[in-house]
Structure 1
Amino acid sequence: MKLGRLNHIGVATPSIADSVAYYREVMGATSITEAFDLPEQGVKVCFVDTPGHDGTAGTQVELIEPLGPDSTLAGFLAKNPLGGQHHVCFEVPDIEAARAHFEGLGKRILGPTRIGAHGTPIFFLHPRDMMGQLTEIMETPKGAH
């Protein structure tokens, strides 16, 4: 298994609308996707695009808001009411090979492989096995890079 590109940093927020305003007004972001619901994950999502140094797409900031009190993200915001960094996401060419790699190392995978916000398979690794950081592993979208 080889570490792929850092695709995005997930940022939990109590209000995507307020966070979008912040990224536009304070950070000067000009490319932000429309928010959409991911009910199977209990969140609303949108992406802030950042430019790469060579003019290509850079790393995205994924803004995530809970869809309700039963969302696991609601628990995160209960402990961090202002929001904050939730996870990092790395791309891999083959999600099943990556899953087998991490399982072979004894890393705890949180739930089954499922389809994530980019429409590709993902899984999460337990923070206690990843230096304290919730880590998302995502199959590189077809046609990307």
Structure 2
Amino acid sequence: MKLGRLNHIGVATPSIADSIAHYRDVMGATHITEPFDLPEQGVKVCFVDTPTESGMNGTQIELIEPYDENSPINGFLAKNPAGGQHHVCFEVEDIAAAREWFEGQGKRILGPTRIGAHGTPIFFLHPKDMQGILTEIMETPQGEGH
């Protein structure tokens, strides 16, 4: 298994609108996607693109807000009312092979492989097995200029 690039850092927020204003007005972000709902994951999402010198997209910030009262993000926000870093996401070429490899390493996978916000398969690794960091593994998106 070969770990790919850091695709994004997930940031839980009680308000995507307020977070967009922060990244735009305070941090100077110029490319922020429109928020969209992922009800099957219980979140609303948008991405803040970070530029690179080559012009290609760098690592993204994924802003995640609870979709409803059943959202898994609610527990995080109960402990961190202002929001904060929720997870990191790394790309892999083959999601099935990566899942098998992590399972073979004795790492706990949280739930089934499913389609994530980039439209590619993802799964999460338990933070207790990943040095305290909730880790998302995603299959490398095709056609995004990455």
**TM-score interval w.r.t. the shorter chain?**
over 0.9
Correspondence 1:41-52 to 2 at 5 A: 41-52=41-52
Deviations 1:56-89 (A, max 9, x none): 2100000000012211100100000000000000
Which whole-Å deviations, capped at 9, do the CAs of 1:11-69 have from their partners, x for residues lacking one? Answer: 00000000000000000001000000000000000000000233221000000000122
**Paired position in structure 2 for 1:112:** 112
Matched residue type, 1:59: T
In 2, distance between residues paired with 1:56 and 1:67? 30
Matches for 1:1-145 after TM superposition, within 5 Å: 1-144=1-144, 145=146
Q: CA deviation at 1:115?
A: 0.1
> What is the TM-score of this pair, normalised by structure 1?
0.98
The amino acid of 1:7's aligned partner reads N
Instruction: Report SS of the residue matched to 2:75.
Output: helix
> Unaligned 5+ residue runs, structure 1?
none
Distance across 2 between alignment mates of 1:56 and 1:36:
23
CA distance in 1, matches of 2:124, 2:96: 13
Measure the CA separation in 1 of the matches of 2:121 and 2:78: 28
Query: Alignment length, in residue pairs?
Result: 145
Aligned-pair identity (%): 80
Q: Letter of the 2:94 partner, please give it.
A: D
**TM-score normalized with structure 2 length:** 0.97
Give distance in 2, aligned partners of 1:52 and 1:38: 28
